Amino acid sequence: MAAASVTAAPTPVHIEKRGVILDKLKDAFAKALTSLQCGACVSALVVAKDVSYLNRNWVLDAANSLCSSFKIMDQDVCKGLVYTQGPVLIESAMRAKLLSGDGKMICFQILGACPAPAITSGTLTFPKPKPTNITVKAASGNRVDVLHISDWHVDDQYVVGSNAACNKPLCCRKYADSPLVPGRAASSWGDYNCDAPVKLGQDMLKFVPTVANPSFSILTGDIPPHNVWAETREMVMAEETAAYSVMAAGISNVYPAVGNHEAAPANLMPTPNTGGDYKWLYSHLADEWARWLPADAVNSVRNYGAYTASPAPGFRIISLNTNFCYTMNFHLYGALKDYDPFGELKWFISQLQAAEDAGERVWVIGHVSPSQTDCIQNWSALYYQVVQRYSPHVIAEQFFGHSHYDEFAISYAPGAKNAQNAILTSWIAPSVTPYTDLNPGFRLYKVDTGNWNVYDSNTYVADLSKAATWDATGATPDWHLEYSAREAYGAHVPIAADQPLSPAWWHNVTSAFESNDAAFQKYWTYRGKSANRMAACTTNTSCPKEMICDMRAGKSTDTCSQPSFGLQKREDGTEYEDGPVALDVTGLRSAFGPAKKPWNRKLCGLPSI
């Protein structure tokens, strides 16, 4: 009989070596996080890469230990995130040329620890030059309604009466350490600390037909809830199937886009140059979306999630997988010189050129907007070149989500940022989920079927502060029109009834915000969907100026809200406590305490929105 194989116990020398190395790793990580110095951040990456050649698990163990000792998250959340997200970041660091610029790029895009590197993605070549005398199709006078839903994040594990003020990134669930008596009991309709319960999403879809009969709908990504430290492939597939089934029962003709939460683990979508296979996700989405999309579009989705489809003659929608520019897609850092993963932008250009040749109008939809700091700058710069080439005569509008806020951004032709040069609007939709501190909402656009431009944008919300009253009285959510963009901002920038809400008009609206604080404060209220739970954005801070700058930033290099991150050491010097963070890059609710710039709090990262 063959002897059973026996694994030798680690020698004392090996154990001692591991302990010393883990201490050095934790020191390097701590210095990077607490100092936010570029050199310290790059050094931490280099140390982690060197140790990974010995044992990758040591790097993960050090990160997990640091996460717990910093009290960044509960131990189970730390462990779940570190051991699902960490291996991809380690693999990318090992592929990257950390001392030749890649390290600084990673430290800038994730932590904001380094200055923004120069754009190196170059200049695109197009099949044909832009026509010199461009004309935009005339309006037909026929207006239709289009529904825009984003960031669904309905939680099928939502438990009524559970703790809505918990110690996890996502509350209103039963956890092993949940208290017997909740600090605040979750209502049946939702809570500002939680994702949406199933019946809130269903009720919203039931309300839509009472105010409109949408010609079609766009869904700009993010279906699963925010328990990203515990999500599995099987879980997200089941959640996506359930959500699409609910939507199919309530609305028709849906054109979806891929969100960062559709992945498992969240955010991590590999490319051909990074290794890894996500055919399971794209095949699953193709099967689910087949109820709405034509066969050729379904086949296209199976490649990497992008497709094009035509809801009406002379008009097409191009759905992009913008997760290939998402800063929290750690796969991307292993191939930073791959400026166009999967050749998606090349394909995008070919579709736009075909549309130009055919005289078609185009809508672009995606999840992460190229205008947001969450989009890697090299990719965003290339995308912006495409926008400048094919706008405004081909691309009529573009629609995104991801931020959970009600926002917009403007793209410009080369030259000054003024009304004359404004060529395209990015409509960034409010989320269905109230996560966090937002009312649930959706948009209805009034669209002309000749030029396919937006003539009004109506945002509907439900006031979640009344959730306990709804439960007590047996009422349902008070879905109502929060505002009409034409009416709200037309009061400050008048617009003729036969004119669309054009990029030039939106630029003039931002000018009104500069000169009229009351107009800006109106926007600020609507940005948070009238929940009135966001930090103030007052003229005695840099907030209004930064927000207006961001509205005029069609690409991430132009934003004034750059990534930033920080921790603060306790006075006793023994461990680290919650400290200031300018942009909540991790997406954790108050993970690092009050923000230096609380108006910039992000709701999507790790645990990721």
Residue 14 in marked binding region:
no
Return d(Cα 367, Cα 257) in angstroms, integer.
6
- The pLDDT value recorded for residue 72 is 76
Q: Does residue 289 sit within a domain?
A: no
Closest CA to 217 of 405, 399, 463: 399
Q: Does residue 454 sit within a domain?
A: yes
Does residue 487 share a domain with residue 419? yes
Does residue 221 share a domain with residue 94? no
- Strands 441-448 and 454-461 come out as antiparallel
Does residue 152 share a domain with residue 238? yes
DSSP state for residue 347 in the 8-state scheme: H
Residue numbers of the domain that contains 501: 144-272+369-382+390-558
Does residue 210 share a domain with residue 260? yes
Residue 153 in marked binding region:
yes
* C-alpha distance from residue 529 to each of 85, 217, 437, 474, 481 (Å): 32, 21, 9, 24, 11
Does residue 93 share a domain with residue 160? no
Per-residue pLDDT tens digits for 313-351:
999 999 999 999 999 999 999 999 999 999 999 999 999
Cα dihedral 586, 591, 595, 597, rounded to 10, equals 20
Q: Which long-range contacts (CB under 8 A, 24 or more apart) does 350-358 make?
A: 350/127, 351/308, 351/316, 351/318, 352/318, 352/386, 352/389, 352/390, 352/394, 352/395, 353/126, 353/127, 353/128, 355/316, 355/390, 355/394, 356/128, 356/131, 356/390, 356/393, 356/394, 358/314
Does residue 539 share a domain with residue 418? yes
Residue 50 in marked binding region:
no
Q: List the chain residues with pLDDT less than 70.
A: 1-16, 563-609
Return d(Cα 146, Cα 444) in angstroms, integer.
6
The tokens describing 549, both together, are 């700058």
Residue 156 in marked binding region:
no
Q: Does residue 49 sit within a domain?
A: yes
Does residue 107 share a domain with residue 251? no
Does residue 397 share a domain with residue 257? yes
10 Å Cβ neighbour count for 607? Answer: 26
Q: Does residue 297 sit within a domain?
A: no
State whether the Cα torsion 175-152-237-372 is positive or negative: negative
CB within 8 Å of 98: residues ≥ 6 apart: 42, 45, 46, 49, 106
Does residue 85 share a domain with residue 151? no
CB 218 within 8 A of CB 289: no
Rounded to two decimals, the pTM is 0.92
Half-sphere exposure of 301 (CA within 13 A, CB side): 24
Does residue 455 share a domain with residue 521? yes
* C-alpha distance from residue 527 to each of 84, 130, 464, 531, 608 (Å): 33, 35, 16, 9, 20
CB 386 within 8 A of CB 278: no
Q: Look up residue 39 and give its amino acid.
A: G
Q: Does residue 227 sit within a domain?
A: yes
- The pLDDT value recorded for residue 569 is 33
Does residue 444 share a domain with residue 544? yes
Domain count, the chain: 2
Residue 151 in marked binding region:
yes
The tokens describing 547, both together, are 């927000």
Q: Look up residue 525 and give its amino acid.
A: T
Residue 404 in marked binding region:
yes
10 Å Cβ neighbour count for 143? Answer: 15
Residue 463 in marked binding region:
no
Q: What is the DSSP string of 256-276?
A: E---GGGSSSTT----TTT--
* C-alpha distance from residue 283 to each of 274, 286, 287, 341 (Å): 20, 5, 6, 18
Q: Does residue 151 sit within a domain?
A: yes
- The pLDDT value recorded for residue 43 is 96
Per-residue pLDDT tens digits for 526-537:
999 999 999 999
- Strands 216-219 and 143-149 come out as parallel
Q: Does residue 318 sit within a domain?
A: no
Does residue 254 share a domain with residue 200? yes
CB within 8 Å of 411: residues ≥ 6 apart: 371, 384, 387, 388, 391, 422, 423, 424, 425, 426, 503, 554, 555
Q: Does residue 568 sit within a domain?
A: no
